[in-house]
Structure 1
Amino acid sequence: MKYTFAFSLIFLLMMMSCGTSKKTKSASAEQPRTQQPKPKAEQPNTIGNTDSEDSLNQETEEVEEVDLSSLNAVERYVYNYAGIAQEEMRLYGIPASITIAQGILESGSGSGKLTRRSNNHFGIKCNGWQGDKVYHDDDEAQECFRKYGDAKYSFRDHSLFLFERSRYGFLFDYDSDDYKSWARGLRRAGYATDPRYPEKLISLIERYQLNEFDKEVLGKTGDTALPKPQRLTLTNSEYYRVKRGDTLYNISEKFNLTVEELKLINKLKSDHIQVGQELKVKN
């Protein structure tokens, strides 16, 4: 009886051992299913980016690189600043060809002493300027000129100089690609005293085909609308109403007065003016 019980106990223990082993094997066989790799369908972006990069590299390779060492001073100036002049044309309607030619002429193709010291490409004098200044011999000894941190701000001031002054308003009535009329008009408006100034601008424009930059802005049809300055309206034909952003300096420039003349006419003791204030602009 004892032997029969012992044998039964051994047999039962063996059966339990086999069952435990099977369960362990079964669990270890199912475990890898939770670590399967992500489907390939989730990876197309990697392939797409590779194709895009290859395409971009091909396009980059197709762009012709400019050997700057092969360009003369004027050509380098055009290369560096034509894009800025075109943007100014879009914003203010001044032909890019005129702006580039003026910059070439007045800055010595960017290598003039004043330009190198101040990034001032158009010889714009201080006249109430609150920014940095440099002093340079011009019509008189040690005249004050505006200094810019970047040349693009000089181009912007040039645009505003023409756009905001009434004496240049008639220029914007010319066709936007009529660089010859613009060149002669600048001289007539008093921009330069050199009687050959228009011919110098026209010669530069035609020699270096600067009018092609105008055509790019105007588009194939040549009828792209460009900004024009608003004609000034006076109250009772003799007064100007001050607007936000006005200063005595820019008002005096609009009406061909000096700041001192404007202050004298209006009996002003300081440069302070207010929006809505009426200033007399004619004697």
Structure 2
Amino acid sequence: MRKVFLSVALTLSLLVHGQARWNQQYQSYIDQYKDVAIEQMHRWNIPASITLAQGLFESGAGRSELATKGNNHFGIKCHGWTGRTVYHDDDRKGECFRAYKSAYESYDDHSRFLASSQRYASLFKLNKRDYKGWARGLKAAGYATNPQYANKLIEIIQLYKLYEYDTAKKYDKTLAKHTKDNSVYGAALHPIKQFNKNYYVIARRGDTFKSIAKELGVSYRRLARFNERDKDDILEQNDIVWLKKKRSNAPKEYKNRMHYVKEGESMYSISQYYGIRLKSLYKMNHLKPDYQIQVGAALRVR
């Protein structure tokens, strides 16, 4: 049908002697899109592992030209498409590819594309846990011309244990909604992470509470308040930005553990790290707000 964009995918998968090696870019992509893949599995009966593996491989973990310019994570060409398009050299120069408002639309169209084509009908007779059968069936049906396509998908699934998502009975709707709501062409979403029964993102260079709030569809004033900051405060790269009100203490596993203060840390940065309110950190350690933090000091976080 078309060839896979090997230059991007193989570089990012760090292939060594034909074997894929774990890398953070792939894992970040999985964290960002796993809930969408599970949602699609529940709707269309396509294994979440297959969807994720194809998205990873076809888009180079979201960094291919088609993904960044057109939110196209699966390399699907136009073929009667009436929406926005982008052009890319593939089997021939300047071929027409589908473009989407968001990565979510790409995931949804990928499911519809497979489910509506007679060429892939036999795959839907397979068990959702049979990711090997799906991978080989996609190659046999002509999804890609790369002779190693099925093996590469299977490698990715096994390396990142994506098969575990094929038995998921539910998914995080907040994370799926985040991907669905973003409608800026070429925009790289802030991956939403989870900790302490809350959600957070990591600020990038140039981020503000306004810019992050706009992406998330929330009030920037509330976002700043959740993080115990002024709405006009300047965010630094790698700042943690919590998306809901922080909790009064750290998770249960920290009950008998202490945090030992490191160079450059503050009471506030520690409270952000654990997703707990600053006043709670002072209170549980019987400290006053004018306490001068010392490197090596032991602090309770629960």
Q: Secondary structure at the match of 1:101?
A: helix
Describe how 1:1-283 pairs up with structure 2 within 5 A: 72-217=24-169
Normalising by structure 1, report the TM-score.
0.51
TM-score calculated relative to the size of structure 2: 0.48
* Rounded Cα–Cα distance in structure 1 between residues aligned with 2:154 and 2:76: 22
Shift of 1:103: 0.4
SS of residue matched to 1:144: strand
Which portions of structure 1, spanning 4 or more consecutive aligned residues, are displaced by more than 2 angstroms? none
SS of 2:161 mapped into structure 1: coil
- SS of residue matched to 1:115: helix
Does the residue aligned with 1:182 lie in a helix, a strand or coil?
helix
- Structure 2 CA distance for aligned equivalents of residues 82 and 149 of structure 1: 19
In the TM superposition, residue 160 of structure 1 has moved relative to its aligned partner by 0.8
Computed over aligned residues only, the root mean square deviation of the Cα atoms, in angstroms, reads 1.5
1:144 deviation in Å?
0.9
The one-letter code sitting in structure 2 at the alignment partner of 1:162 is: L
The AA in structure 1 aligned to 2:139 is R
- Unaligned ranges ≥5, structure 2: 1-22, 172-302
> 2:38·2:170 contact (CA, 8 Å) conserved in 1?
no
> Which residue identity lines up with residue 136 of structure 1 in the other structure?
H
C-alpha distance in 1 between matches for 2:118 and 2:64: 30
The one-letter amino acid of 1:207's match is L
The answer to whether the Cα contact below 8 Å between 2:72 and 2:103 also exists between their aligned partners in 1 is yes
The AA in structure 1 aligned to 2:140 is R
Greater radius of gyration (CA)? 1
Structure 1 residue 82: Cα displacement? 0.6
What SS does the corresponding residue of 2:168 show, helix, strand or coil? helix
Deviation of the 1:133 alpha carbon: 1.0
Deviation digits for residues 104-127 of structure 1 (CA, Å, limit 9, x no counterpart): 000000011111000000011112
Q: Which amino acid aligns with 2:80?
A: G
- Look up the SS of the partner of 1:191 in the other structure: coil
| Post-superposition CA distance 1:232-276 (Å, at most 9, x none) | xxxxxxxxxxxxxxxxxxxxxxxxxxxxxxxxxxxxxxxxxxxxx
Distance 1:203 1:217 in 2: 24
Q: Percent identical across equivalent pairs?
A: 50
Determine the structure 2 residue equivalent to 1:38.
none
Q: Distance in 2 between matches of 1:147 and 1:170?
A: 27
Local SS of the residue matching 2:97: strand
Separation (CA, whole Å) in 2 of partners of 1:114 and 1:216: 29
CA pair 216-92 structure 1, distance change in 2 beyond 3 A = same
Q: What residue identity is the alignment partner of 2:144?
A: A
Deviation of 1:155 after TM superposition, in Å, equals 0.6
Letter in 1 for 2:97: F
Please state how far the C-alpha of 1:190 moved relative to its aligned partner: 1.2
1:170-221 residue CA offsets vs partner (Å, 9 max, x unmatched): 11111110101111111111111111111100000000000111111389xx
What amino acid does structure 2 have at the position aligned with 1:213?
Y
Output the amino acid matched with 2:167.
Answer: K
- Unmatched runs of 5 consecutive residues or more in structure 1: 1-70, 220-283
SS of the residue corresponding to residue 86 of structure 2 reads strand
